[in-house]
Amino acid sequence: MTPPRVVVLDYGSGNLRSAERALARAGADVSVTADLDAALECDGLVVPGVGAFAACMTGLRGIGGEKVIGRRVELGRPVLGICVGMQILFTAGVEHGVRADGCGVWPGVVERLAAPVLPHMGWNTVTAPPDSALFAGVPDGTRFYFVHSYALRMRDAAPLLRAGARITVTEHGEPFAAAVEAGVVSATQFHPEKSGDAGAAVLSNWLETL
């Protein structure tokens, strides 16, 4: 069986090499590149991201990455966002009172969590819907590694749920979206590449959908 061709999009943000290694271990033929033709034509596109929402969007637009993501969605080609790479798929993000437009793949605004301690850093359990593809076979109570202060708060998730998305939930101060699956686009707020065997299982499940 030919391994799926996966591109980790290099737009100046994200744990590129750790994501590359984790995907390779999960069975992908993976490359890290800013080449938009490769990003469009591959079996699966991974969009990483760390740091500030606005800065990630600036970097993404700098290479035309938002257009490739939109085109892949139009063509029905899978995309996986990780951490801020998940956040930028939404309509917008608000940090320090400043609103920045996202890719607009999904409805929703990413905001600062209402939690006594931020960032949310460390291992946390998640609650996945029974029909989740990403978490198929992952036992309840499994922990994943998070490091972030912003997320889609579940109180703001109604439009996404109405659109038919499957949302996996975590709580830190308040419930928020730990992962989203909607059509060909999936994303995780946690870092699967830093989540050991649990993260490897999620990546393997995603590869099986390609």
Which region holds residue 183: left if phi is over 0, alpha if psi is between -120 and 50, else beta? left
Predicted structure pTM score: 0.97
Tokens of 169: 């939930």
**Who contacts 112 (Cβ-Cβ below 8 Å, separation ≥6)?**
94, 95, 118, 149, 150
pLDDT tens readout for residues 184-196: 999 999 999 999 9
CA distances from 95 to 88, 100, 153 (A): 13, 8, 14
Q: What is the predicted pLDDT for the residue at 14?
A: 79
pLDDT-derived band at 161 (thresholds 50, 70, 90) equals: very high
Using only C-alpha atoms, the chain has a radius of gyration, in whole angstroms, of: 15
**Count of alpha carbons within 13 angstroms of residue 80, beta-carbon side:** 27
| pLDDT value at 105 more than 90 | yes
pLDDT band (50, 70, 90) for residue 13: confident
pLDDT at 1: 78
Percent of the chain with pLDDT over 70: 100
SS3 for 63-118, per residue? HCHHHHHHHHHHHCCCEEEECHHHHCCEEEEEECCEEEECCCCEEEEEEECCCCCC
Q: Enumerate the active-site residues.
A: 83, 191, 193
| pLDDT for res 141 | 93
Residue 86 binned pLDDT confidence (cut-offs 50, 70, 90): very high
How far from the centroid of its chain's Cα atoms is residue 145's Cα?
Answer: 13
pLDDT at 117: 97
pLDDT tens for residues 39-66? 999 999 999 999 999 999 999 999 999 9
Q: Which CATH number is associated with domain 5-208?
A: 3.40.50.880
Distance, C-alpha 119 to centroid of its chain: 18
